[in-house]
């Protein structure tokens, strides 16, 4: 995800301080990976330097001065362009999991055990996401569904690979 674009999008509703941006970002998008304050301020400095935001005001505080940022017309155009572009689908053609299976076969280790262990880990995470989804709001439910669908695809791949393991072993150990 583009942190800069997300922060710009949040600024479209009105000027905010860095602290407010971080809090709103974390509430909307950062359940599992909240932003660090340093990341917010370094991103805002870059957006300011690129003319996508401007300082709308400075307020004294108990610590450093608090800058209030506002999105510029260029920033609005940048967010609109970013939102209109489709995300590149990730084909996962070189996954770590595939590499582990092949290396297990090449080194004489039990690749079936690796697949079983991975399947168990996927199922554990799917149960956790299903519990989270059942008690979450709509945004959390959609995020969990996205992850669950990817995990389901991984499980299908694990099953297919397990069914073809002898064939793969013969091919990679020639």
pLDDT in tens, 33-90: 889 999 999 999 999 999 999 999 888 766 677 899 999 999 999 999 999 898 877 7
> Residue 7, Cβ neighbours under 10 Å: how many?
27
- Each as own residue / partner, the long-range contacts of residues 170-174 (CB below 8 Å, 24 or more positions apart, any chain) are 172/102, 172/105, 172/106, 173/105, 173/106
Q: Specify the pairing of strand 16-17 against strand 53-59.
A: unpaired
- Per-position b or e across 38-56, b if 16+ CB within 10 A of its CB: eebbebbeebbeeebbbee
Helix segments in the chain, DSSP class H: 3-11, 18-28, 37-49, 73-84, 96-106, 111-135, 138-163, 165-172
Interval 23-33: pLDDT, tens: 999 988 877 78
Structure tokens at 159: 């099953």
- pLDDT value, residue 22: 94
> What DSSP state is assigned to residue 65?
P
**pLDDT(4) > 70:** yes
pLDDT at 94: 61
Mean pLDDT of 129-134: 95
What average pLDDT does range 137-143 have in this prediction?
91
Taking a C-beta distance cutoff of 8 angstroms, is the pair 66, 58 a contact? yes
């Amino acid at each position: 995800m583009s942190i800069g674009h997300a922060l710009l999008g949040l600024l479209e509703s009105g000027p905010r301080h860095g602290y407010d941006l971080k809090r709103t970002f974390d509430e909307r998008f950062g359940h599992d990976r909240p932003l660090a304050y340093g990341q917010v301020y370094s991103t805002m400095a870059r957006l300011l330097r690129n003319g996508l935001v401007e300082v709308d005001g400075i307020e004294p505080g108990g610590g450093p001065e608090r800058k209030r940022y506002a999105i510029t017309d260029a920033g609005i155009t940048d967010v609109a362009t970013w939102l209109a572009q489709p995300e590149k689908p990730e084909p996962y053609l070189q996954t770590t999991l595939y590499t582990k299976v092949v290396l297990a076969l090449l080194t004489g280790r039990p690749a079936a055990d690796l697949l079983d262990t991975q399947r168990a880990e996927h199922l554990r995470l799917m149960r956790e996401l299903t519990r989270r989804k059942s008690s979450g709001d709509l945004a959390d439910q959609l995020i969990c569904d996205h992850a669950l669908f990817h995990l389901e695809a991984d499980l299908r791949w694990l099953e297919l690979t397990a069914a073809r393991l002898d064939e793969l072993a013969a091919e990679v150990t020639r």
